[in-house]
Structure 1
């Protein structure tokens, strides 16, 4: 009689991790209770300097899964290495780095939060969790906790627990999610404004555009006006909206349409009223990608 094969827990989690990594999703082992493994003695207190993909880059070359989300990788040689074996043996779950996979997870941790999402956010891929749902959108952004009751945003510099592929079609990151964290991010010191001059849109960069220069400039000037009118808050949202609207006008053009130059002007407008340059760039890029159906 054939005996059933017993699959060790570390083998099951590692198999899931390798499958995700093959799909370009950076993964890491999580402890029982879904927390990351603690740093090794050499990395305790960030004594090693941190990993290069953390907020403060450092020289860490530790082979172990230290530094939580920053250790996430798609390299099967690292995932199956002896240095990671102990962590896999003690793992209770598989984690992944949403921002590294180019997605954003809206973590809805209560029934009221799920109800809010269903009436506020556009449909996308949904993954059931123990207490609520993960809504996953295509496109990365800044992570933030408690953006509203029972709602966390997990994307850049964060990790999420893998709970399966979910159901539904993944859709582009919407303005409604970007807006949840904009107020916190769009209040830099005024002296930090980048005053570089952007490339101006003209026919020389739009040889395949089907629109007249007057049509494009009118739309662009209108978008810039809406952005620069938001001097206290909302400029990032306005930049996203303007980029999405303008890019949508060019979906039927044979191209090129000079969208890079248009984006530079929108980014410069947002920066001029105090939006941090990296965030302005993300808002405009996500807006254009939402209109063009591209992966952010």
Structure 2
């Protein structure tokens, strides 16, 4: 009796990948860490081994701990760019149940300004530089190049999603990515404690930002930054106060002509962090100094 023909295993058509997983793989190839989101646009819960932080890592998902669970655990901290993780169990099953794709903006070197309503969008159009934007259900995501601490309710209708946070992927968006502006970085500061400036620091040089730089050569500015770094790293006591006074001195000299760049600020923050200061304190001190000088 003739046996029915069979399709050779190698030529059998493979079932199509779920749409969300295809999107996730495309993002991962471009260096964007992704994770599946379930109904309600929330991450999948911890597996039994990680429930109640039994794994010892990532308490409340605030810090990346030692857990290396292969399951879809720990929200933003589980986001991955590894195609093998995305296509293998148990992630593969999670993608079948996912309702949308999430990603970790900070892991991709990005910050998302989540504008929840028309009022927030109107504020952003007057207060922030234009950048790539994506329409959301109720508002827009404005995406900037650069990372910062995340903060919910940074102002009415505005959330900041960057490090230690996830955002829903809603498409490539329109517009050109702009660098993360100071106006957004300052929104991460929560109730900065007042700091009394040194008496001489209230003297501010004349001029406005964007004007002709009076310092003439980059070497002058670089020498000033190097001296500021040295002042911080050589501090043997009162580090908090030294950092603030140094930031204030740099800004009072160079803050109005527009010659300071992100690279200069990073050098100052790095020097402060080498003395044990946190990124939060550096941001607070910088913001307080700018406020004192009216910048």
- TM-score, normalised via structure 2 length: 0.67
CA distance in 1, matches of 2:111, 2:257: 18
1:98 maps to which of 105, 118, 121: 105
Structure 1 spans left out of the alignment, 5+ residues: 189-209, 250-258, 285-296
Q: Check 1:109–1:182 CA distance in 2 against 1; reply closer, same or farther (3 A cut).
A: same
Residue 110 (structure 1) aligns with: 117
Q: Check 1:41–1:269 CA distance in 2 against 1; reply closer, same or farther (3 A cut).
A: closer
Q: Check 1:99–1:276 CA distance in 2 against 1; reply closer, same or farther (3 A cut).
A: same
SS at match of 1:30: strand
SS at match of 1:119: helix
- Deviation per residue, 1:246-273 (Å, 9 max, x gap): 4559xxxxxxxxx77x85446547999x
- Deviation per residue, 1:177-217 (Å, 9 max, x gap): 01112244x559xxxxxxxxxxxxxxxxxxxxx93755644
User: Are 1:66 and 2:68 an aligned pair?
Assistant: no
Asked if structure 2 preserves the Cα contact closer than 8 Å seen for 1:48 and 1:58, the reply is no
Q: Check 1:282–1:87 CA distance in 2 against 1; reply closer, same or farther (3 A cut).
A: farther
- Deviation per residue, 1:91-148 (Å, 9 max, x gap): 0000000000000000001111111111111000000000000000000100000011
CA distance in 2, matches of 1:212, 1:51: 44
User: Are 1:276 and 2:278 an aligned pair?
Assistant: yes
Structure 2 spans left out of the alignment, 5+ residues: 1-12, 195-215, 232-240, 287-295
SS at match of 1:82: coil
Correspondence 1:129-208 to 2 at 5 A = 129-184=136-191, 187=193
CA distance in 2, matches of 1:283, 1:74: 35
Asked if structure 2 preserves the Cα contact closer than 8 Å seen for 1:243 and 1:266, the reply is no
Moved over 2 A (4+): 54-59, 210-224, 228-232, 241-249, 262-272, 274-284
Correspondence 1:17-32 to 2 at 5 A = 17-32=24-39
Larger Rg: 2
CA distance in 1, matches of 2:142, 2:218: 40
Residue 211 (structure 1) aligns with: 217
Q: Which has the higher contact order (CA 8 A, sep 6+)?
A: 1
Residue 61 of structure 1: how far off its partner (Å): 2.2
SS at match of 2:114: strand
CA distance in 2, matches of 1:99, 1:80: 23
Indicate the RMSD between aligned Cα atoms, in angstroms: 4.2
- Deviation per residue, 1:134-173 (Å, 9 max, x gap): 0000001000000111100000000000000000001000
CA distance in 1, matches of 2:65, 2:273: 31
SS at match of 2:95: helix
- TM-score, normalised via structure 1 length: 0.67
